[in-house]
Amino acid sequence: MSLTVYQYPKCGTCRKALKWLDEHNLEYDSVHIVDNPPNQTELKQIIERSDLPTKKFFNTSGKKYRELNLKERLPSMSEDEQIELLASDGMLIKRPIVTDGEHVTVGFNEDTFEEIWNS
């Protein structure tokens, strides 16, 4: 099983996730989420496979999220508008996103990684 990890090298959560994957000898392709953010089509597929609402893919603790006042704006935006916004700037996307094309995790939770990626 080959994984794709959308991550940002300076992100501590991303480093923890990569360390966990390395310790469990899982192969992955690392994608710099800021230099190469997933496009709208990729994001739509990832979100659909995750069974999570689109708003869960926003980096709510990020500077950009606050600058754009997204806490107030997101509820009135359509899903397509939200996905378009996410695709426009990798810093808006919660990270890391790990996918094998079928399963998706967002952020790093050791129990979730154990359940999904170590089976």
Torsion of the alpha carbons at 92, 24, 46 and 75, rounded to the nearest 10:
-40
* Residue 75 CB coordination number (10 Å): 8
Q: What is the pLDDT of residue 25?
A: 95
Order of strands, edge to edge, in the sheet holding 28-32? Answer: 28-32, 3-7, 97-99, 104-106
In sequence order, the β-bridge partners of residue 99 are 4, 104
Euclidean distance between CA atoms 1 and 95, whole angstroms: 21
* All structural domains of the chain: 3-117 (3.40.30.10)
Ranges of the chain with pLDDT below 50: none
pLDDT tens per residue, range 55-83: 999 999 999 999 999 999 999 999 999 99
pTM: 0.94
- C-beta of residue 97 within 8 angstroms of C-beta of residue 104: yes
Euclidean distance between CA atoms 57 and 13, whole angstroms: 15
